[in-house]
């Protein structure tokens, strides 16, 4: 069995053959210098080679400082690490606006290229989700990102989207002059499995899906981590509920980006080299409870 930590999913991007680690380290809500250094030290030591951040996480500059220390420590160079960042929704717009946002990300992260840059949200900051201006602005943004990408010759090696619904994806695909997004990063877990139409649209366009919220929301009573089906399967495999949820996402052909600030959990989250059998997968796929933990992009025109 191939190690998940070493598995690469292909990216369908013009201008070269590109691959993305199947598992990466998410940094959402980790926004202080000391914690970023600590968690990335553990993550790189455990074998993570993808770091996922965003302008709105306010931690890009801390990641830059951490990598200056940690890459030499682990005998790594920039090319060994896959870095993803995302456009602040306030920066939707024309080439000048988007270009300035991309340059900020590059400067903050201390790199001359990003492996992947995503439109974080289909809506624009400071205007209503129901405004038709959202359509115009995100289309302008995509055209600007394509120009910066420059068929793989620019500082953005892959471009994609996040939180795009079927409607938003079809909008990009409807214009034959558009590059197809390499990735769509979305909420995906057993309580929110996205629609069959969504999966078909992305699969047919060869858009890789990347899951966030793999373990659901808060660790309260109704948390996915306490789901009885998930826990029975975890006991069967002598693993944790979190590992089962991550392995399920991987076997559904999603890239996964678990997040934790606890060293033991960071190490466990990449240790998912076991196989869920057909019965396990069907049991999880057929969980009836439906619950969305993050934002609702369906509301964006």
Beta bridge partner(s), residue 26:
52
Integer distance in angstroms from the first to the last C-alpha of the chain?
Answer: 44
Give whole-number Cα distances, 133 to 128, 138, 255, in Å: 9, 9, 31
Give me the phi and psi of 27, to 5 degrees please.
-120, 15
Choose, from 28, 48, 57, 192, the residue flagged as catalytic. Answer: 57
Q: How far is Cα 210 from Cα 250, in angstroms, rounded to an integer?
A: 9
Helices (H), the chain: 33-46, 60-73, 95-109, 133-149, 166-173, 196-204, 228-237, 241-251, 263-270, 278-285
Give whole-number Cα distances, 186 to 72, 201, 298, in Å: 33, 14, 12
Question: Is 57 a residue of the active site?
Answer: yes
Q: How far is Cα 241 from Cα 250, in angstroms, rounded to an integer?
A: 14
Across the beta sheet with 116-119, what order do the strands follow?
25-26, 50-52, 82-87, 116-119, 159-162, 183-187, 208-212, 255-256
Contact in structure between 36 and 59 (CB atoms under 8 Å): yes
CB atoms near residue 22 (< 10 Å): 23
Residues designated as active site = 57
């Amino acid at each position: 069995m191939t190690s998940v930590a070493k598995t690469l999913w292909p990216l369908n991007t013009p201008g070269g053959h590109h691959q993305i680690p199947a598992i990466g380290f998410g940094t959402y809500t980790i926004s202080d210098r000391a914690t970023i250094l600590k968690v990335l030290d553990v993550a790189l030591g455990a074998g993570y080679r993808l770091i996922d951040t965003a302008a709105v996480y306010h931690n890009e500059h801390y990641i830059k400082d951490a990598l200056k220390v940690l890459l030499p420590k682990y005998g790594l160079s920039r090319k060994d690490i896959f870095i993803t960042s995302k456009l602040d929704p306030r920066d939707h717009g024309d080439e000048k606006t988007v270009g300035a946002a991309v340059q900020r990300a590059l400067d903050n992260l201390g790199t001359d290229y990003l492996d992947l840059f995503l439109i974080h949200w289909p809506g624009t900051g400071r205007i209503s989700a129901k405004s038709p201006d959202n359509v115009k602005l995100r289309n302008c943004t995509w055209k600007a990102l394509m120009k910066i990408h420059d068929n793989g010759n620019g500082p953005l090696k892959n471009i994609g989207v996040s939180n795009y619904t079927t409607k938003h994806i079809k909008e990009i695909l409807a214009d034959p002059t558009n590059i197809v997004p390499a990735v769509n990063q979305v909420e995906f877990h057993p309580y929110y499995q996205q629609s069959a139409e969504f999966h078909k649209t992305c699969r047919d366009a060869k858009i890789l899906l990347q899951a966030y919220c793999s373990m659901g929301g808060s660790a309260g009573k109704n948390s996915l981590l306490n789901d009885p089906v998930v826990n029975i399967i975890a006991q069967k495999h002598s693993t944790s509920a979190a590992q089962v949820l991550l392995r399920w996402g991987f076997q559904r052909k999603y890239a996964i980006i678990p997040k934790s600030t606890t060293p033991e959990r960071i190490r466990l989250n990449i240790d998912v080299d076991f196989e869920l059998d057909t019965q396990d997968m069907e049991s999880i796929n057929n969980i009836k409870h439906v619950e969305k933990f993050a934002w609702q992009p369906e509301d964006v025109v």
